[in-house]
């Protein structure tokens, strides 16, 4: 992450280690883990055993486990202060609590692998398509998990009604900042802090040539696999900070 993003995360999460190197969590030394692997392993270097054909789920969990600000948030129990048990769009905090327990197992430093049976059971309760043991789509599981964690940890208890405005020729920076402010008035969580951004769309009317610009929030981008063996794409990241240069 850039200096701006890193500074924001440090201020928001209270992270002391600027390199986001996760420490060893001795506090979980006496935790009773079910179905462990062999003992005395490096924290975080932990496999997940398959429950049937659940490698799709394990792959998504490993990706999130190795997202340092998110894992530190759960290991430090900061999630407990932000559980939203009354959110009708959430899972009464069950997904967040179950995920936290699994992450603590993986980062205890005690085992080479754990079995995510309890976590899978909770996922299956709220998303029946994942309740069995057959192969599923990893991206769909990741999308469900990110959304479930977000709603379980949404700091907004009462979402206000937002009247959206057209860009009407205003500078992109102004429109983008307005769109982001509207977004976090209804959605504010550790998932938003780390994963959410704005996707700019530009439409040009073929009749009158009017240009319409919108900024829509996103949590992940789904991209098609290219048919050609080689394809070159140019991607530009434009930060909200006007002093930051675009990144290619």
What confidence score (pLDDT) does residue 124 get? 93
Identify whether 3 is part of a domain: no
| pLDDT the model gives residue 167 | 79
Domain boundary (128, 152, 176) is at 152
What is the pLDDT, as a whole number, of residue 166?
Answer: 82
Residues 31 and 133 in one domain: yes
Per-residue pLDDT, 246: 73
Number of domains in the chain: 2
Together in a domain, 130 and 197: no
Amino acid 18: pLDDT: 35
The domain boundary residue, chosen from 152, 171, 197: 152
Look at residue 185 and tell me if it is in a domain.
yes
User: Same structural domain for residues 63 and 108?
Assistant: yes
What CATH number does residue 112 fall under?
3.90.70.10
Do residues 175 and 68 share a domain?
no
Mark whether 173 and 124 lie in a shared domain: no
Question: What pLDDT score does 28 carry?
Answer: 38
Which pLDDT tens digits describe the chain residue by residue (248 residues)? 444 444 444 444 443 333 334 444 443 334 344 445 555 568 889 999 999 889 999 999 999 999 999 999 999 999 999 999 999 999 999 999 999 999 999 999 998 899 999 999 999 999 999 988 888 999 999 999 999 999 999 999 998 898 888 878 888 899 999 999 999 999 999 999 999 999 999 999 898 988 888 999 999 888 887 776 777 778 888 777 777 777 76
> Residue 27: which domain range?
17-152
What single string gives the DSSP state of each residue in 76-130?
Answer: TTGGGGS--TT-TTS-TTHHHHHHHHHHHHHTSSS-SEE--HHHHHHHHHH-GGG
What CA–CA distance (Å, rounded) separates 64 from 185?
A: 25
Q: In terms of domains, do 25 and 128 share one?
A: yes
The pLDDT value recorded for residue 106 is 94
Which of 152, 182, 217 is the last residue in one of the domains? 152
90 with 32, same domain: the answer is yes
State phi, psi for 172 to the nearest 5 degrees. Answer: -55, -40
């Amino acid at each position: 992450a850039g200096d701006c993003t890193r500074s924001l995360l440090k201020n928001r999460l209270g992270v002391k280690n600027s390199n986001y190197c996760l420490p060893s969590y001795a506090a979980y030394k006496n935790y009773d883990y079910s179905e462990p692997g062999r003992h005395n392993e490096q924290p975080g270097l932990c496999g997940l055993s398959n429950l049937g054909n659940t490698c799709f789920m394990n792959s998504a969990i490993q990706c999130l486990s190795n997202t340092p600000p998110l894992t530190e948030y759960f290991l430090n129990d900061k999630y407990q202060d932000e559980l939203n048990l009354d959110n009708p769009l959430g899972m009464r905090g069950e997904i967040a609590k179950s995920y936290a327990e699994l992450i603590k197992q993986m980062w205890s430093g005690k085992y080479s692998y754990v079995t995510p049976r309890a976590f899978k059971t909770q996922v299956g309760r709220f998303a029946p398509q994942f309740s069995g043991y057959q192969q599923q789509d990893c991206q769909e599981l990741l999308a469900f998990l990110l959304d479930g964690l977000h709603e379980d940890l949404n700091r907004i208890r009462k979402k206000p009604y937002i009247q959206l405005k057209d860009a009407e020729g205003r500078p992109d920076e102004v429109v983008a900042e307005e769109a982001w402010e509207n977004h976090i008035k209804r959605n504010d969580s550790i998932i938003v802090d780390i994963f959410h951004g704005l996707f700019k769309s530009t439409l040009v009317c073929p009749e009158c040539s009017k240009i319409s610009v919108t900024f829509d929030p996103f949590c992940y981008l789904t991209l098609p696999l290219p048919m050609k063996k080689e394809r070159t794409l140019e991607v530009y990241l434009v930060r909200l900070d006007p002093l930051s240069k675009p990144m290619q």
